[in-house]
Amino acid sequence: MATKSRSSDSARMTETDNDNEALLRRSHRGALVLVGAEIGILFGAGAFSFIRLGLPPSSLSNEAAINLWVFVAFLAIGSIWLRRILGRPSQYTDLYLLGGVQKVVSRLFINTVTVTAPVVAIALVGVLLSEQSRTFSDTARITVLGGVVIIANAPRRGAWRSVVGACLASKKS
């Protein structure tokens, strides 16, 4: 009888682990689709700017262009800094205790959306800057900078698994 109880507990545990893995996989896939769309917007804006290089520059002042570059720098640095702040393990442990694995995975998804969203703003500012200067270097710089931000903040399934695993381990101890 005790053997039967143990086997049913281990079967239930495996089922729960499979449910957690499926939830993690679905949310991670959704985050990757979102990041892929943001990459498409970034490179689409870069391509749009590249196509328009031969046209005469617009009347945006140099002071406005400098302000836009400072804005882009703040977006890029702020996005990476925000990822570090939102990725604290203690935050996820507290969420797990309040709402379980689903709450943790949901927060991982929301944090991914939050830290990758500035890439769209960087792409749009890149279009403005390239309209002003009509130089390839501005278009290339802004596209590369947006790419660096998206790579630094892209969701990694291994990191998500380790967060969920740490939360599950904190419950056991």
Q: Count the neighbouring beta carbons within 10 Å of the beta carbon of residue 38.
A: 23
pLDDT(96) > 80: yes
**Beta carbons of 132 and 65 less than 8 angstroms apart:** yes
Q: What is the pLDDT of residue 104?
A: 92
Query: pLDDT class for 173, splitting at 50, 70, 90?
Result: low
Query: pLDDT class for 110, splitting at 50, 70, 90?
Result: very high
pLDDT(127) > 70: yes
What residue spans define the domains of the chain? 2-172
| Mean pLDDT computed over 73-97 | 89
**Sequence-distant contacts of 80-88: CB under 8 A, at least 24 apart:** 80/115, 80/149, 80/152, 80/153, 82/114, 82/115, 83/111, 83/115, 83/152, 83/153, 86/111, 86/114, 86/115, 87/111
Helix-then-strand count for the chain, H and E = 6, 0
- Residue 32 CB contacts under 8 Å (≥ 6 apart), including other chains: 154, 155
- Percent of the chain predicted with pLDDT > 70: 90
At CA 28, angle to CA 88 and CA 91, rounded to 5?
15
Handedness of CA 20, 90, 148, 62 (dihedral sign): positive
